[in-house]
Amino acid sequence: MARYTGYKRPKNTKKALKELFHYMGYHKWLLLVVAALVCISTAASVAGTYLLKPVINKFILPGDKTGLIYALIGMGIMYLCGALATLGYNRLMVKTAQKVVADIRRDLFAHVQTLPLKYFDAHTHGELMSRFTNDVDTVQEALNNSFTLVIQSSLTLAGTVVMLLVLNLNMSLIVIVFLCIMFFFIKWNGKRSKEYYDRQQAYLAEINGFVEEMAAGQKVEKVFNHEEQDMKKFREKNEALRRASTKALGYSGMMIPSIVSLSYANYAVSACVGGLLAIAGLMDLGSLAAYLVYVRQSAMPLNQFTQQVNFILSALAGAERIFEMMHEEPEVDEGTACLVRVKKAPDGSLSECGPSEGEYAWKEEDGKLTPLRGDVRFENVTFGYVPDKKVLDGISLYAKPGQKIAFVGSTGAGKTTIINLINRFYEIQGGRILYDGIDIRNIRKNDLRRSLAMVIQDTHLFTGTIEDNIRYGNLSASDEEIREAAKLANADSFIRRLPDGYQTMLHSDGSNLSQGQRQLLAIARAAVAHPPVLVLDEATSSIDTRTERLIEKGMDAVMEGRTVFVIAHRLSTVRNSKAIMVLERGTIIERGDHEELLAQKGRYYQLYMGAYELE
C-alpha cells in the first residue's frame, strides 16, 4: 500500500504529466523495455490462470499423466518468464527513476542558482528546501513503484475481466457488480481518509513548529515560568492531532478488510452459482476452476490501481511545485562588459594578456579597455522593492578609488539597499549607477560581483575547514595568502590556538566558533579576494572595540587605493571616512566628513552626541 503524503492534488495534471514525461523521455529506451517486461509479466499471470481450464479438462479428468506433466512444465516456464520479467522491470524502473530524479535535481539546483535575490526574499528556506526533499522524494517513490504498478494493475484488471467474459458471460455479471461496489467503496473511503489525513498533516506541521519554537526558546520559557501554559497549549495541539490521526487511520485501516470481505463474498456467490451450473452441465469443471481463480484475483488489481493513482496524483502535485520553481524567471543579465587581465605599455595603452598576468580592466562590447579602479557613482537613483513604495528617492553620490564612504541613519533609511544595488542584487527603477564610468547594467553580473567583496552582519560559513572558508573569497589563493588575509583581519591568532589550526572543521554555520570569531573569518574571506571595492555592512558589530581597531588598520592596508563602503551603527567606526552620508527615508539629508557634520549640528551631531537613537 502506498504511503499517503498529505499533498494536495495538482492544479494542472496534464501539464505536470507532460513536463515529467519530458524528463522520462531522456530514458525512453529503458522505459520501453520496462513497458515490454510489464506486459510479459501481466500476460504470464493472466494466461497462466486460463491454462487451468485445458489442464483440468484435457489431462486431469481423462487421467493423462504424461500430458499433465508436459502441461505443468509449460505452465512453469510461463510463470518463470513472468517472474523474471517482474524482476527485470523492477530493477530497470529503479535505475531509470534514479536517473530521472537526478536530472530533475540537477536542473532544479542549476535554475535556483540563477534566480534573483528578490525570489529568496519572498520564500522561506524551508519552503525552498521542501522542493529538493519532500517533493523530489515523492516523485522518486512514484517512479520507483506507482507508475509500473498502475500499468500492471490496469492490464491485469482488464485482462481478468476479458477472460471472465470469455469463460462465462452470464456469471461475469456477478463479478462486475461486486467490482463496482468495491470501486465506489474505495472512492468513498479514500475521500474520507484523505480529509482526515490532510487534517493530520496540518496538525502535525503545527505541533512540530510549536515544539521547535519551544526548544529554541527554552531559556526564555524558564525565565518567565511559562512551562505550564506551554504544556497546556501542547496538550491541545496533541489532542487535535490524536483525533485526526485516529479517524485517518480508522478509515484507511478498514480499506483492506472491507475489500477482502467483498472479495470473499464475490467468490462465495460465484462458487455457488458456478457449482450449480456445473451440476446442470452448463459449465465444465475446468472453466469453473479457472473462473474462480480469476474471481479471487479481480479485487487486488482494482485496489492497487485506485491507491496508486491517488499516490501518483499526490506525486504530480509535488512535481508541479518543482516545475513551477523551474519556470521562475531567472536573474536578468544583459551586460556585455567583462573583466580581463591587461598590461600597460610605456605609452599608457592597454592590451590583454594572460590570465595570471597584469592588472584587471573592463572590456566593453566595442573592445574598449577601462582600468578597474573602483570608482562608483550614483546618479539620481530611484528604487523600491515594490513599484509603488520608494526606498531610495533621487540618491546621488560618488566614491573615488581609495575613498572610504560611510552610511549612517536609522533602521529602514536605505543604507543596506544602496549596498545591494552596487552588487546589482536588485534592478533600479530610475537613474543609473556607474562603475569606472560604465553603467553597471552593461557589466556582466558575475564579473561585477567578482570585483566586489562584501562582509555582512549575518555571517555565513560553509561546512569545511577554516582554510576552505577563507579561500572561498579567492579559490586560487595560496596557503600563504590565506594566512596573510587572516593576519590582516586579526583572525590568525585565534585560529592558531585551535587544536587543528587552519584545518579545523566547521559545521552548522560555524557554531563551534563565537560570533566574533565567525565575523573575523568573514573579513579574512573578503580580504583574500583583493577586490577594488569592499563593502562592510555592520561587519564589526559582533567584535569588541579593541579588535575592531586592529581590524580597521589591517583592512585599511588591504584596501589602500581601493573604495570602501561602510554601514555602521557605531559612529566610532566611521570617523575616519572620507565622506559620511546621513540617510533618512531614502534620501541623503547630510553629507561631509566627521568634523564637518559635527559643525553642522544636524542629525549626525544628534546621533554622535546620543540625542537621537539610530534605532
CB count in 10 Å sphere of residue 446: 11
Q: CATH number of 1-168+303-331: 3.30.460.30, 1.50.10.20, 3.90.1720.10, 1.20.1560.10?
A: 1.20.1560.10
Predicted confidence (pLDDT) at residue 554 exceeds the cutoff of 70: no
Which DSSP state fits 25?
G
State phi, psi for 343 to the nearest 5 degrees. Answer: -125, 150
CA 130 to CA 133: how far, in whole Å?
5
Q: In the structure, what pLDDT confidence band is assigned to residue 543 with cuts at 50, 70 and 90?
A: low
Mean pLDDT, residues 276-280 taken together? 83
Q: In the structure, what pLDDT confidence band is assigned to residue 540 with cuts at 50, 70 and 90?
A: low
Predicted confidence (pLDDT) at residue 120 exceeds the cutoff of 60: yes
CA 412 to chain CA centroid, Å, is 30
Strands 438-439 and 533-537, bridge-based pairing: unpaired
CA 531 to CA 486: how far, in whole Å?
16
Question: Which residues, at least 6 apart from 104, have a Cβ–Cβ distance to it below 8 Å?
Answer: 23, 136, 139, 322
Cell digits of residue 516 = 566574533
What stretches of 51-64 show up as alpha helix (H) in DSSP? 52-54
Predicted confidence (pLDDT) per residue in 447-500, tens digit: 888 888 888 777 788 888 889 888 888 888 888 889 988 888 788 888 898 888
Strands 579-584 and 404-409, bridge-based pairing: parallel
Domain 376-609's class?
Answer: alpha beta
pTM of structure: 0.72
Buried b (16+ CB within 10 A) or exposed e, 157-172: bebbbebbeebbeebb
Collapsed DSSP state (helix, strand, coil) of residue 337: strand
Predicted confidence (pLDDT) at residue 402 exceeds the cutoff of 70: yes
pLDDT for res 84: 92
CA 270 to chain CA centroid, Å, is 53
pLDDT for res 429: 87
Q: Could you tell me if 427 and 433 are in contact, meaning their C-beta atoms sit under 8 angstroms apart?
A: no
Question: Which residues, at least 6 apart from 431, have a Cβ–Cβ distance to it below 8 Å?
Answer: 378, 379, 380, 381, 382, 394, 395, 396
- DSSP for 472-526, please give it: TT-TT--HHHHHHHHHHTT-HHHHHHSTTGGG-EE-TTTTTS-HHHHHHHHHHHH
Q: Which of 301, 381, 345, 311 is nearest to 41 (CA)?
A: 301
Between residues 32 and 196, the one the model is more confident about: 32
Tell me the sheet residues that pair with 409.
583
Cell digits of residue 102 = 537526478
| Same-fold call for 1-168+303-331 versus 376-609 | no
Q: For the chain, which residues make up each domain, given as ranges?
A: 1-168+303-331, 169-282, 338-371, 376-609
Q: In the structure, what pLDDT confidence band is assigned to residue 612 with cuts at 50, 70 and 90?
A: very low
Q: In the structure, what pLDDT confidence band is assigned to residue 209 with cuts at 50, 70 and 90?
A: confident
pLDDT for res 263: 79
Which DSSP state fits 106?
H
